[in-house]
Amino acid sequence: MGNKMKQNKYWEILLKKHRDKGKDGLTIPFIIGSQNYLPNNSYKQNISELIYDIVSSNLFEICIRFCMGTNTFIAEIRKERNVCYFPKINNNEQNKLSVGIYHKNDFGESIKELIENLIEKFQNPIDNKTYSAEPNTNERTAKWNKFSAEDKIFIKECFK
């Protein structure tokens, strides 16, 4: 009896369905917050566990890049045109998680440094349960909000 959630990880489902809608990626807080809508799931991944899970995935490559639309970083199924580098894991090469090349100085050479920087950028919105990024063009940053009704519908549809 194949449980669909076991075959595809929640973040793979979200990113794929988001791409199917013709959209780019999702923020790390959005992905983390979506776990609150998983059926029968008491355990929730944190940023570090999510990143290590992505690195060990075998479905597709994920790219973390800056999104001009939301004024923050998103994770997306990598597009051909994304110019990226691959942070090393324990000094070894990996090819499942890439980062926009222009942000190498922001995120570092290793998965460990990447995680530390993602936690620094995104732990506060996650702790505040403000998972959804709204563009704040004046400040050139994201304004973090609770999930909208539209966000909740999208997430629940993904996990059906």
Q: How many residues does the chain have?
A: 160
Domain of 30 in residue numbering reads as 4-158
Residue 70 has phi, psi (to 5 degrees) of -100, -10
Q: For residue 51, give the 3-state DSSP assignment.
A: helix
Q: Kindly state the percentage of the chain with pLDDT values over 90.
A: 73
Total domain count, the chain = 1
Backbone angles phi, psi at 86, to 5 degrees: -115, 110
Q: Is the pTM of this model over 0.75?
A: yes
Using the 8-state DSSP alphabet, how is residue 87 labeled?
A: -
**First-to-final CA distance of the chain:** 17
List pLDDT tens digits, range 5-40: 446 899 999 999 999 999 999 999 999 999 999 987
